[in-house]
Structure 1
């Protein structure tokens, strides 16, 4: 019935099936950048993160300013009687005054500036945590796009094999020419799917490159398996406790609450006025007339002055009130954040569990049976036992299910990354 031996045709089918199996087994060789390297590059080079890092200088400057004492004041005074007809009389004085901070204001300002710096550093650490999550997610989006591209190439190989079989059957007079044309259309459609998959690869690579802050990933592709790693052994409650201990956003809010207490303490101290002490030297020159003779008399005096505002009306009541409200607000935000973190951990944990169950279903029940069905259907078509539309339908189902399997692999990894970010813990080892 056919010119080509049956075993050769089976060999073509086996080759096409091997391409599809490779598409679900791993990415192509020649890739250079690992997940760990991508995360390191993102943390080092991300433009927005580096801009925020530079703001540390503002906090350091504020801390330096908080520790400085008020500058002393130099006072000079010159008096003359020339304009009033007493040119011989004049006075000159020089003095220095210094303001002294009372109620421990300098120490409290330093403590407040230190807390502001601590809040900033925990905020920076939290931005790095979120950036790691984003880098991992985009990294695996590229891996997913590459695997889908290889799956599309496998679909082309299947249709090429089908086209070869259809040509043989047409030459043998077993099928009409219309059936061969249908196979050609299906082959063209699979090539179009490959073009779309290639566009997805390029787009995901561009997004990853932008996140990494430069061209270091060009022309390299991410490397590594899309398949799930080891199982998470920690219980949900343990991960929540880790999150409470390690989440930098929670630590930032705790520092904010402590900063609020420092602000309140400073505001209360600001209600106590500062003391200003001055030391001055004065020289007075006067003209003395005795028996028609004029003489000059010069005297020197040294004086000490002390001044302090009387806190009769303004005792910094508004500042104390504002600081008290900010402290209470920071405590409320911390309580809400703890609830939010608990929800994040629970959601990520449930998503990971569901993704693993879905993967298990694919591997145990769906994938083996689907591969067997495709093989049997293709062999049946070669023997003329089923129409070509049945093969089209089976191939379509096979490609769709394989795409679903790849999506499930990616979802599992994304759920793992979200759980790591929620617990601020690298579940494969290490701490954010």
Structure 2
């Protein structure tokens, strides 16, 4: 028995060795990858760092305990001594503690949006790898079909050669064509294996998993939103833009903290002292012990350092964050425009294939093969028609793949599902 993989695919993956597993859909692979991808797991674990930083910012400063003991034994006055016990607490002024908590919370929020942005990027990579694998599978199937056509053509050529209708050269031409398609199959199988390996790595599937894919290159629904609506959706939805927005808020919070740092903190202390003294009067020595309680108040004087450098640094970060966010907004809109144009172009190409091209190609191939069987057409014309059949169908598969990839890019650019789910 295989070891069970945790997560949404456990039922599909935990099957006896050699048993047929259920095909995996793109939605299942995406859900599994979001739970098992290594880079995402590492980012989620970093959330503990930011949580600890927020807790540290909210924690009050520890009080300071002072203990002082003095004796006159070393100076010839053994009866003289002093013992002092003090407790000092530093109080943060100008709301520094709340401002530090605000900065830490903004950093924590930015990390959460960074995780969401990595999930967005992973989804796009995964969709592309999924359709790359489907394309490799379909190309292998197409190559196998052409190989079957060549084998059938070889049988017809042998029958005609035996009947004395064609020279042996025609039979040899068909053999060469069959050998060429068999060699191409090896390359297509290698490409399929590479794409499956990349897809398994992105998803985080167990090593050696050979689950089949359930999906199609045929496009489903189409986005119903205009380009302007998609741009607006990107501005409101994209997590990378939200990261920059939070970074800008964090910069404002850091600037407020830097200005508060210009105000010195206040140190308040409570001191308890015991003094022992001796007085000699008329040859009689008397001892006296006194206890005092005092308050100690101290604060640095901001004569030289008023945190001007810290304020300038925080201000520069705010300006930088503002510029980066403005540039990112423009770049996001350009990504949407590019992906939208690519999708429209791919759909136009598909429309050309879906018209009369593919059906007419099938009919032409069948007619040419029948004409050759009846001796009405030469072998070179049939071979050329089969090559055209393969090239056009391969182009059709590539156009379907390009449309699916363009849709994935557009969904990543706007950070939203545009057709109701990953199929």
Residue 207 in structure 1 maps to residue 207 in structure 2: no
Residue 380 in structure 1 maps to residue 371 in structure 2: yes
**Residue of structure 2 in register with 1:152 after alignment:** 143
**Residue of structure 2 in register with 1:261 after alignment:** 252
**Residue of structure 2 in register with 1:110 after alignment:** 101
SS at structure 1 position matched to 2:267: strand
TM-aligned CA distance change 1:344 to 1:366, over 3 Å: same
Task: Verify the 8 A CA contact 1:257 1:331 in the aligned structure 2.
Answer: yes
**Matches of 2:34 and 2:395, distance apart in 1:** 32
Task: Verify the 8 A CA contact 2:339 2:406 in the aligned structure 1.
Answer: yes
Q: How does 1:386-405 map to 2 (within 5 A)?
A: 386-405=377-396
**Matches of 1:129 and 1:215, distance apart in 2:** 23
**Residue of structure 2 in register with 1:358 after alignment:** 349
**Residue of structure 2 in register with 1:49 after alignment:** 40
Q: Which deviates further from its counterpart, 303-312 or 182-191? A: 182-191
How big is each residue's C-alpha offset from its partner over 1:38-79, in whole Å with a ceiling of 9 and x where there is no partner? 111111111111111111111011101111111100000010
Q: How does 1:101-180 map to 2 (within 5 A)?
A: 101-180=92-171
Q: How does the TM-score come out when normalised to structure 1?
A: 0.91
Unaligned 5+ residue runs, structure 2? 1-19
- State the Cα distance separating 1:291 from its structure 2 match: 2.2
Task: Verify the 8 A CA contact 2:350 2:400 in the aligned structure 1.
Answer: yes
- State the Cα distance separating 1:214 from its structure 2 match: 3.1
Q: How does the TM-score come out when normalised to structure 2?
A: 0.93
Q: Which deviates further from its counterpart, 363-372 or 325-334? A: 363-372
TM-aligned CA distance change 1:212 to 1:430, over 3 Å: closer
Q: How many residues of Structure 1 are paired with residues of Structure 2 in the alignment? A: 403
Q: How does 1:319-358 map to 2 (within 5 A)?
A: 319-358=310-349
SS at structure 2 position matched to 1:170: helix
Residue 293 in structure 1 maps to residue 318 in structure 2: no
Task: Verify the 8 A CA contact 2:27 2:421 in the aligned structure 1.
Answer: no
**Residue of structure 2 in register with 1:19 after alignment:** none
SS at structure 2 position matched to 1:91: strand
Task: Verify the 8 A CA contact 1:33 1:217 in the aligned structure 2.
Answer: no
Q: How does 1:218-233 map to 2 (within 5 A)?
A: 218-233=209-224
- 375, 383, 404: which one pairs with 1:413? 404
SS at structure 1 position matched to 2:62: coil
How big is each residue's C-alpha offset from its partner over 1:7-58, in whole Å with a ceiling of 9 and x where there is no partner? xxxxxxxxxxxxxxxxxxxxxx976110000111111111111111111111
How big is each residue's C-alpha offset from its partner over 1:290-311, in whole Å with a ceiling of 9 and x where there is no partner? 2212221101111111000000
> Which contiguous aligned blocks of 4+ residues in structure 1 show a shift greater than 4 angstroms?
none
- State the Cα distance separating 1:428 from its structure 2 match: 1.9
Q: Please give the root-mean-square deviation of Cα atoms over the aligned residues, in Å.
A: 1.4
Q: Which deviates further from its counterpart, 30-39 or 276-285? A: 30-39
SS at structure 1 position matched to 2:305: coil
**Matches of 2:109 and 2:247, distance apart in 1:** 9
**Matches of 2:373 and 2:31, distance apart in 1:** 53
TM-aligned CA distance change 1:418 to 1:229, over 3 Å: same
How big is each residue's C-alpha offset from its partner over 1:336-384, in whole Å with a ceiling of 9 and x where there is no partner? 1111111111111111111001000001032122112211111111112
**Residue of structure 1 in register with 2:49 after alignment:** 58
SS at structure 1 position matched to 2:88: strand
**Matches of 2:306 and 2:367, distance apart in 1:** 90
Task: Verify the 8 A CA contact 1:348 1:422 in the aligned structure 2.
Answer: yes
**Residue of structure 2 in register with 1:24 after alignment:** none
SS at structure 2 position matched to 1:55: helix
Unaligned 5+ residue runs, structure 1? 1-28
Q: Which deviates further from its counterpart, 365-374 or 78-87? A: 365-374
- 173, 182, 187: which one pairs with 1:196? 187
Q: Which deviates further from its counterpart, 57-66 or 215-224? A: 215-224
